Amino acid sequence: MRRHILPGFGITLGFALFYLSLLVLLPLSALCAKSFGGSLEHFWNAVTDERVVASYKLSFGASFVAALINGMFGLLTAWVLSRYRFPGRRIIDALVDLPFALPTAVAGIALTALYAPNGLIGEFLGKFGVQAAFTPLGVLIALVFIGFPFVVRTLQPVIASLSADVEEAAACLGSTRWQTFRRVIFPAVLPALLTGIMLAFGRAVGEYGSIVFISGNLPFKTEITPLLIVAKLEQYDYHGAAAIGFVMVLASLAILLLVNALQWWSARRTGHAHS
C-alpha cells in the first residue's frame, strides 16, 4: 500500500477546500450576488457605460502591449542572468524582484517623479515633444514596471535547464546563431515565455496603485477600470462597482485558464521530447 507524508486524504482535502472556500469562493460568491443584486438592466448599463468601456480599452490594451514588451526584454534579461557570469550579476538578479517587494503606491510616486514634465526623464523626453506622465504612455510604463519580474522568473529555470551541448551541436552542423535560436532555443522556451507573458498580462489588468498617480485619471483618456470601481464605491454605487468587478473577475479567470492550458501544453511537449 502506498504511503503519503500527509496522512488522511479526507482530512487534508477537507482543510484544503475549507481554506479555498474561505479565501476565494465565498468572496467571489458575495461579489456575484452583489453584482446581480439590482436589476439586470442596471448591471448591463453599469458594465457597458461609455466611460467604463473606454477604461476597458485602456486597461486591457495597455496591459497587452506591456506584456509583449516584457516578453521581449524579459527573455533577453533571463538569458543573460542564466547563461553569463559577470560582476554585479547577483545585484541585478535581486533588482528584478524589486517590483514584487516595492509597494505599488510607492512605485507610482517614484515613476511619476521621474516621468513628470519636470522630472529627470520627463524633462528629457519633453525636448523631443514626448510627454509620458498623465498620458496612456505613462500607464504603459507603469504596467511594464510591475509585470517585468513575472516573465524573467518564469523563463529563468527553463533557460537554466537547457543544455549548451545542443547549441554546440547545432553550430557544428553549420547552423548560424539566428538559426540555432529560431529552431533550437526558441521552441524550447516558447511555452514558458507565453506563460510569463500571460502572467504579466493578468497582473497588469488589475493594477491600481502604480497607475493612479502617473495616469492623471482623465476620463476617456487615462482612466483605468480599477479606478472606476473605487469611484463607484465612493459614490455608494455598490451594485455598479460589483458589476464592473465581476467583469474583471471573469477576465482574470479566463487569463488563469489560459495560463494553465499553456502549462499543460508545456508539460506535454516536455513529455513527448523525453519519450
Residue 154 lies in a domain: yes
Q: Which three cell numbers stand for residue 230?
A: 473605487
Phi, psi of 159 (to 5 degrees): -65, -40
Cβ-Cβ contacts under 8 Å for 247 (sequence gap 6 or more) = 47, 56
Residue 238 and residue 34 in contact, taking contact as beta carbons nearer than 8 Å: yes
Q: Which three cell numbers stand for residue 175?
A: 547552423
Q: Is 29 exposed, middle or buried (0-12, 13-18, 19+ CB in 10 A)?
A: exposed
Residue 76 lies in a domain: yes
b/e sequence 2-11, b meaning 16+ C-beta within 10 Å: eeeeeeeeee
The count of structural domains within the chain is: 1
Residue 57 and residue 221 in contact, taking contact as beta carbons nearer than 8 Å: no
Residues 56 and 153: their CA atoms lie apart, in Å, by: 28
For CA atoms 45, 46, 51, 53, the dihedral sign is negative
Residue 29 lies in a domain: no
Residue 89 lies in a domain: yes
Tens digits of pLDDT across the chain (275 residues): 556 665 566 777 778 888 888 887 888 788 787 777 767 888 888 889 999 999 999 999 999 999 999 999 999 999 999 888 889 899 999 999 999 888 888 999 999 999 999 988 999 999 899 999 999 999 999 999 999 999 999 999 998 888 777 777 777 777 777 888 888 888 888 888 988 998 899 899 988 888 988 988 888 899 999 988 988 888 888 888 888 988 888 888 888 888 788 777 766 765 655 55
Q: Give residue 105's domain range.
A: 41-274
Residue 27 lies in a domain: no
Residue 26 lies in a domain: no
- CATH number of the domain enclosing 247: 1.10.3720.10
Residues 175 and 155: their CA atoms lie apart, in Å, by: 24
* Residue for grid cell 473605487: 230
Residue 1 lies in a domain: no
Residue 66 lies in a domain: yes
Report the residue count for the chain. Answer: 275
